[in-house]
Structure 1
Amino acid sequence: MAQSAAPPAVAPDAPLTLPVRAILPWAAFFGILMLILLYFVGAEGGTAAVFSGEGVHEWVHDGRHLLGFPCH
């Protein structure tokens, strides 16, 4: 009855590090994704609109005000 409920702590063999080559493609992907999102929130519905109408503007309207973009 001298057993503990927790398993003994085992030290890892090597420190947990990620090489830059593993992170770089994901960073580029999310960077491009954020630029596209920023375009739709900040510029869509204006002079450089990709889609006609006010549909995209209405979907991102609150986000525009939250980020400080004027739209009225």
Structure 2
Amino acid sequence: MAQPAVPSTQVQQPTVPLRVPVREILPWAVFAAVLGLVLLYFIGAEQGATSVFSGTWVHEFTHDGRHLLGFPCH
């Protein structure tokens, strides 16, 4: 179908911002916060006296990330 050469002059209604209820965001925000804290623990504190896992495999796995984020490890 051919389009007219002159666009229509209909007035567009202003857009209304989308509102998302806090009840829908809160579980995901809590999940993200807990996941972030767990990752921060493993990268920053999983070594030495506060070690949850025995051995050095967690330390070696997160070694470069630890230096990248500024945590001292040796």
Tell me the TM-score normalized by structure 2. 0.77
User: Which blocks of at least 5 consecutive residues in structure 2 are unaligned?
Assistant: 5-12
* Aligned mates of 2:48, 2:20 — CA distance in 1: 42
Partner of 1:21: 23
Q: How many angstroms does 1:15 deviate by? A: 3.9
Structure 1 gaps, min length 5: 5-10
> Which residue number corresponds to residue 37 of structure 2?
35
Matched to 2:65, the amino acid is G
Q: 1:14 offset after TM fit, Å?
A: 6.0
Write the letter of the residue equivalent to 1:71: C
Contact 1:43-1:49 within 8 A present in 2 as well: yes
Equivalent residues, number: 67
Show CA shifts across 1:6-44 (max 9, x none): xxxxx7x96422111110010001100100000000000
The residue number in structure 2 matching 1:2 is: 2
**Identical aligned residues as a percent:** 66
State the AA in 1 paired with 2:45.
Answer: A
- Root-mean-square deviation (CA, aligned residues, Å) is 2.3
Runs of 4+ residues over 3 Å off in structure 1: none
User: What residue identity is the alignment partner of 1:2?
Assistant: A
Distance in structure 1 (CA, Å) of the matches to 2:41 and 2:33: 12
